[in-house]
Amino acid sequence: MGWNSWDCYGTTVTEAEVLANAEFMATHLLAAGWDTIVVDICWYDPDAHRHGYTDGTSIRLDDWGRQLPAANRFPSAAGAAGFGPLAAKVHALGLRFGLHIMRGIPRRAVELDLPILGTTWSARDVADVSSACPWNEDNYGLNHDHPGAQVYYDAQLAQFASWGVDFVKADDMLTPYHDREIAAYARAVSGSGRPMVLSLSPGDDLSVEHLSHLRASAQMWRVSGDLWDRWPDVLAQFARMAVWTPLQQPGAWADADMLPLGRIGIRAELGEDRESRLSPAEQQTLLTLWVMSRSPLMMGGDLPTSSPATIELLTRSAVLEILTESSDNRELARTALAGEGDGDDESDGELIVWGPTG
């Protein structure tokens, strides 16, 4: 249960905005179980902008090709401090600190042929330039036939541990399914010396055939692409979570994605500054499905400027009761109701019922 900067700030969130959300969470949501603050993609890009990505040439790296926070957006990260000072402030509020990272090694590190920490190898030795994310140009994949690939991930996660990171959202892992990257990243987390939750994404219609590997590697994995404040996006999650919910277990959770609630789109990838376009009933339905299906809960809206109604929904006793007291929840029925709908909505004429099996 936490907050992630993506839905409201896209690639552009600043230290001040992260702290404002952390302080609000500690004051208003921590008592209800919300306890994690996550800085999403491109925190290492000083030229980040709304509605997309830059070409990656300006990203901030250390001498061993590892990303460093952009100091113009995160002033406390100047020099070699990294996210250590920011994480310490988040921890002082009683919260956990997380960050996003892309699969692989920065293209900039390969272009500069930076050394791999503690080895005689370099970024060019370990990069797989044939493996690249189709929607973000920051990184190449790693060649896991080369031992230096694991060493690079080990060094990256050791740095995260030194900063006090508690949660890592590793992106471009699941679509397609990069089994060797996932296994290598899991080994690096395990060897980092610090407990960290590993969350994998995005999982566009992820297959349950990977369940054993996922459970062995991570604590969370996405089962869809990005979810936004559109009813068809929410409706599609009913079918996905009907498949995954019976397989949920402590420490290994299928993730229906962030909650596009409250004030989103401030400097986001999709749309302009707005309150969530989901109706109150749709928002309640979304959150009910998420807690019944045991999806992790990551709030996407800017907490300090979201409506009081949104904050009330997130802390509502009935929601928390479903989350903590219900068990064995499933889709119980899905029935077409011919002639009942007016044809104007994808959900017309269909009844979907969830509840406990007992």
CATH of the domain at 11: 3.20.20.70
Predicted confidence (pLDDT) per residue in 216-268, tens digit:
999 999 999 999 999 999 999 999 999 999 999 999 999 999 999 999 999 99
Is the Cβ–Cβ distance between 301 and 261 less than 8 Å? yes
CA separation for the pair 301, 3 (Å, rounded): 8
φ, ψ dihedrals at 127, nearest 5°: -75, 145
**Is residue 348 pLDDT above 70, yes or no?**
no
- DSSP character at residue 10: T
Say whether both 319 and 337 belong to one domain.
Answer: no
pLDDT of residue 345: 55
Q: Pairing state of beta strands 2-4 and 253-255?
A: unpaired
pLDDT grade, residue 350 (50/70/90)? confident
CA separation for the pair 302, 310 (Å, rounded): 11
Say whether both 107 and 145 belong to one domain.
Answer: yes
Q: Quick one: which of 200, 138, 202, 211 has its CA closest to 168?
A: 200
Q: Quick one: which of 324, 264, 330, 286 has its CA closest to 21?
A: 264
Count up the domains in the chain and report the number: 2
pLDDT of residue 143: 98
pLDDT of residue 339: 64
Say whether both 166 and 315 belong to one domain.
Answer: yes
Question: What percent of the chain stands above pLDDT 90?
Answer: 92
Say whether both 333 and 297 belong to one domain.
Answer: no
Question: What percent of the chain stands above pLDDT 70?
Answer: 97
Q: What angle do CA 189, 195, 298 make, to 5 degrees?
A: 90
For residue 190, count other CB atoms closer than 10 A to its CB: 14
Segment 200-227 mean pLDDT: 97
pLDDT of residue 58: 87
Structural domain harbouring 352? 328-358
**Is residue 347 pLDDT above 60, yes or no?**
no
Say whether both 345 and 247 belong to one domain.
Answer: no
* Residue with the larger pLDDT of the pair 336 and 282: 282
CA separation for the pair 276, 283 (Å, rounded): 9
Say whether both 112 and 240 belong to one domain.
Answer: yes
Helix (H, G, I), strand (E, B) or coil at 107: helix
DSSP letters, 25-86, are HHHHTGGGT--EEEE-S-TT-TT--SSS---STT--B-TTS-B---TTT-GGGTTTTTTHHH
In the block, tokens 């407990």 appear at 195
Predicted confidence (pLDDT) per residue in 121-163, tens digit:
999 999 999 999 999 999 999 999 999 999 999 999 999 999 9
* Residue with the larger pLDDT of the pair 347 and 221: 221
**Is residue 358 pLDDT above 80, yes or no?**
no
**Is residue 340 pLDDT above 70, yes or no?**
no
Tokens of 357: 């099996």
Say whether both 233 and 334 belong to one domain.
Answer: no
pLDDT of residue 342: 53
pLDDT of residue 346: 53
CA separation for the pair 176, 306 (Å, rounded): 35
Predicted confidence (pLDDT) per residue in 305-316, tens digit:
999 999 999 999
Chain centroid to CA 21: 16
CA separation for the pair 99, 103 (Å, rounded): 13
pLDDT of residue 357: 85
Chain centroid to CA 186: 16
Helix (H, G, I), strand (E, B) or coil at 351: strand
Segment 20-46 mean pLDDT: 98
φ, ψ dihedrals at 105, nearest 5°: -125, 140
Segment 179-206 mean pLDDT: 97
Say whether both 67 and 181 belong to one domain.
Answer: yes
Say whether both 119 and 152 belong to one domain.
Answer: yes
Say whether both 240 and 351 belong to one domain.
Answer: no
Tokens of 57: 């040439």
pTM for the full model? Answer: 0.95
Say whether both 208 and 340 belong to one domain.
Answer: no
In the chain, count H helices and then E strands. 12, 15
pLDDT grade, residue 20 (50/70/90)? very high
pLDDT of residue 122: 98
